[in-house]
Chain A
């Protein structure tokens, strides 16, 4: 028990350059003070750069083949079915549990992949995947306090289609509640390790990228989001003791979406994926002659004999087939601009290692910024426009720390080690 008190503020998906600009524009004066006096840098995320995988890598300090979270969704190979990953699928211990065991008092609020909330020596409030408020917390009864204070689990993104105004309003409603209640918990409860996660920034960049980064109808509302976050940072800094450690980080960056790329449609056009005729195209109606199929984001699974329910690709052809698929994918070009859409193609063992490597996709694609890899089964076109205006990026997450050796961090899975030493 010799770690100083520690506060972690997660700002989901906020790119390094964007935060620096907010500081320069005096939208985030408190953060500007911190980075003027403390180290800060760009940090790499994880492949694929999405919150489920990135925050699980953060909290476990491990790569996906060890922690077993490869995306928000996954598939069981046999019987073939789509599954949704929750924290219950995670296969190794988190920083919240290991600090709890050592006797530290832990509070964690809204960190992705903490649904279902698990026992800690303190309080855990589950993430945006929580289906109802009564299931949001450990200890279970703590939800009554949250409910009485008007806590909001997550803004409802379905509102965007109805009206962007309504969704923006919901983002602020949720953020206000989280920051207010989160600060009261920080002030009123006992803790040695406190983490609060802000998800609203990710929603903002997905749906309001142009307004958030330029001048648009919602620019004021976007700036206000970051003013509120900065105000929270300021209050935290004045509350915590001088020798406390403070970490502010995001889990991936963001850029503008140019096109959605439908990988299953591409595979189908290339003759690698087919469906039983007369059926609606889906995972369940793939024809056994399928060579491979894709799940979001950019994950390709071979229809491997002995593994997949209707697998027909022979084990001995595994590597040959992977190379053939790679050849099909690597020269994929945007038909309008002739720009390359794929940045890197990995075979799973090149980026992951651990006991759950066999559960990883066989091939993992990393797109060029702007090409958002999707994997619907029923689309007619490979390149499509999207109503989602921003997409995740890999190498420009943000990290800054007070009393923490952040120079030791290269990618998000390195963070746990500096927090625990």
Chain B
């Protein structure tokens, strides 16, 4: 079996296993290339009818193209789309302009906590990959979170020879990562093979393209002429830039900004 089919089979196995174990599940759909690939795989796993909701955490700052894509695909694929916003924080005036770290915490992290509590999901499918970021390399396919939604990286179950831990304590919930072993290049090659629709922001326009998308306020395009899937794949084979280099901030500068803002220095 070729590499992509192998990845596809593994992912579909994980998706079915996760649903079979937990039932009260949802998938987190950021509308980016990874979670849209995950969505594609979940549709395959259930022959076109996804038996659980797709959750979009809407910060209100996503690109217009993202919203349009979301609404079009949700309709075409007949998704049970649930859009969740942290309205309390937004009413309080939290925004990227008042502090990016707080904004992310409130409009993404806390919005997710709210959604899980309100909709009572026992497990969530996410499209994260080990090669995205150092901290994600330590992730598990079935990854427990405690009551406070904390991920204790010191007590993660071993996943030797693909033996997954699917039992949970009552106050835990599980994050399921069917794409964990995929690389950015695998994703693009699979998108090409399957013809998966993705947001056009990933393709170059006027010499720039987005390699990673999220909120418009916090994403920058990279220099690129790759305007087709083929060209993107060629670019990825040679680039030395990291995938998330266009994302606004690492934690360190976010910390400094918060510090300077609290002192009125910015």
Interface residues of A (CB under 8 A from B): 50, 72-73, 79, 81, 84, 86, 128-129, 131, 154, 156-158, 160, 203, 206, 280, 282, 284, 296, 372, 374, 376-378, 386, 388
Contacts and interface: CB of A to CB of B under 8 A. Distances in A.
Given A73-B265, A79-B220, A282-B217, A84 B251 contact: no
A374 B259 contact: no
Contacts of A160: 262
B266 interface: yes
Given A73-B265, A73-B266, A280-B97, A81 B260 contact: no
A157 B253 contact: no
A240 to B, nearest CB: 32
Interface of B: 61, 95-97, 217, 220, 251-253, 255-260, 262-266
Contacts, number: 50
Given A128-B259, A129-B256, A282-B97, A50 B265 contact: yes
A158 B220 CA distance: 29
Main SS of the interface on chain A? loop
A72 B260 contact: yes
A84 B258 CA distance: 11
A378 B256 CA distance: 21
Contacts of A50: 265
Given A84-B257, A131-B256, A158-B262, 19 more contacts: A72-B260, A72-B266, A73-B260, A79-B220, A128-B259, A129-B256, A156-B262, A157-B263, A158-B258, A160-B262, A206-B263, A280-B95, A280-B217, A282-B96, A296-B266, A372-B264, A376-B97, A378-B97, A388-B264
Nearest to B61: A280
B207 to A, nearest CB: 12
Given A282-B97, A377-B97, A131 B255 contact: yes
B66 to A, nearest CB: 15
A296 B263 CA distance: 12
The 10 closest A-B pairs by CB, nearest first: A157-B262, A131-B255, A158-B262, A72-B265, A388-B264, A84-B256, A131-B252, A73-B266, A157-B263, A72-B260
A363 to B, nearest CB: 19
Contact of B220 (A81, A203, A280): A81
B104 to A, nearest CB: 16
A84 B262 contact: no
